[in-house]
Chains A and B, each alone.
Chain A
């Protein structure tokens, strides 16, 4: 890693430190972690449940800060990320590193004190896996980076489940598997219309290494694997009618969008190198559509599980 940032004329504001924690990613992690915790169906003191979710959130934020510290050099080369606090010089790299390490230790320690060793160990492993194998190694070396690295983003529901039940049964790993299988089509769809950026930064994302056509095929293959996995909770006792009503039609829509993307020219020639997540040229709208729908689909699946569990919760049972 090279120190890409220079001190700007203005001192860092509190919002810059919040940005270090990747609040958008953190909100999804909190949501999936909370779903895991509720789906465990074990009685839990509300304060301890809140502390567990807080620890998951802070741990995710710590991973984000460590990632931004290490990736400052490549973030500075991409339009999408160059305004981040470290590459823009608003926060010094050393401060981001210190914040990441401190929050990692505090979140794991608190999880251990409040909940126990299993949830704390899983949280520590998740932070480590995101910061070291994914950020420092996989991201810069292989187009499989987000496939393997996706495990870090998939673990929060397992941590939530472990926090409530002090065990991680198959249904907890099923939630993990859903997010794990969801990650490649989600990120490859994004990379299809931002591949110029990734190429400039030297990150070996699918479209940069394989080209757009093979990436679209990979997205279709992973989508075909993902959608059946998303139906399994209906049969494993984890999801009920509401979940089925979301998972099946949503899955069909996902497959339709993946098929349309496969047949499109997304990522070819002049359809790349855009600045925003949702602003794309006409040739890449199919990639943008799948990227946007994938977020909605994952959110809807977990929201359905959450709502179903809360509706079926016996009166007087706290969480």
Chain B
């Protein structure tokens, strides 16, 4: 089996970082949405 192309390896690593960053953004977004929606409902009590 031939060694992986370093250019493709680098691109794969960049892609992995981008996916990780996307997941972090998604988690933060869900957290902020929860706070906003919770805030709105708490006011009704």
Q: Which residues of A contact B29 (CB under 8 A)?
A: 51, 110
Number of interface residues of A (CB under 8 A): 13
What total of A-B pairs shows CB separation below 8 Å? 32
Residues in chain B near residue A13, CB distance under 8 A: 11
CA–CA, A12 to B33, complex, Å?
33
B12 neighbours in A (Cβ, 8 Å): 11
Which residues of B are found within 8 Å of A14, using beta-carbon distances? 14, 18
Q: Is A10 an interface residue (CB 8 A)?
A: yes
Tell me if B24 is interfacial: C-beta within 8 Å of chain A: no
Q: Flag whether A45 is at the interface (Cβ < 8 A).
A: yes
Contact of A11 among B8, B30, B36, B37 (CB under 8 A): B8
Interface mask (B15-45 → A, CB under 8 Å = 1, otherwise 0): 1001000000010011011101100100000
Flag if A47 contacts B8 (CB, 8 Å): no
The answer to whether A47 touches B32 (Cβ under 8 A) is: yes
Chain A residues, CB < 8 A from B5 = 11
Per-position 1/0 for A13-25, Cβ under 8 A of B:
1100000000000
Interface flag for A113 (CB, 8 Å): yes
A6 proximal to B (CB < 8 A): no
Measured CB to CB, the nearest residue on chain A to B35 is A47
Does B7 contact A114, Cβ atoms closer than 8 Å? no
CB atoms of A47 and B26 under 8 A apart? no
Binding site secondary structure of chain B? helix
Which residue of chain B is the closest to A45 with respect to CB atoms?
A: B36
State in angstroms the CA–CA spacing of A245 and B32 once bound together: 41
A residues less than 8 Å from B7 (CB atoms)? 10-11
Q: In the complex, which residues 101-140 of chain A have their Cβ closer than 8 Å to any Cβ of chain B? A: 106, 110, 113-114
On chain B, the residues within 8 Å of A47 by CB distance are: 32-33, 36
A241 at interface by CB-CB < 8 Å? no
Q: Does A48 contact B (CB under 8 A)?
A: yes
Closest A residue to B5 by CB, please name it: A11
Which residue of chain A has the shortest Cβ distance to B15 in the bound complex?
A: A12
Query: Considering only CB atoms, which chain B residue lies closest to A47 in the complex?
Result: B36
Q: Are A11 and B32 in contact (CB under 8 A)?
A: no
Say whether A110 contacts B30, CB under 8 Å.
yes
Q: What chain B residues lie within 8 Å of A45 (beta carbons)?
A: 36, 40
Further contacts, 4 of them, CB under 8 A, given A11-B7, A45-B40, A110-B29: A11-B12, A12-B11, A12-B15, A110-B26
- The chain B residues found within 8 Å of chain A, CB to CB, are 5, 7-8, 10-12, 14-15, 18, 26, 29-30, 32-34, 36-37, 40
What are 28 pairs between A and B in contact, CB < 8 Å? Answer: A10-B7, A11-B5, A11-B7, A11-B8, A11-B10, A11-B12, A12-B11, A12-B15, A13-B11, A14-B14, A14-B18, A45-B40, A47-B32, A47-B33, A47-B36, A48-B36, A48-B37, A51-B29, A51-B33, A106-B26, A110-B26, A110-B29, A110-B30, A113-B30, A113-B33, A113-B34, A114-B33, A114-B37
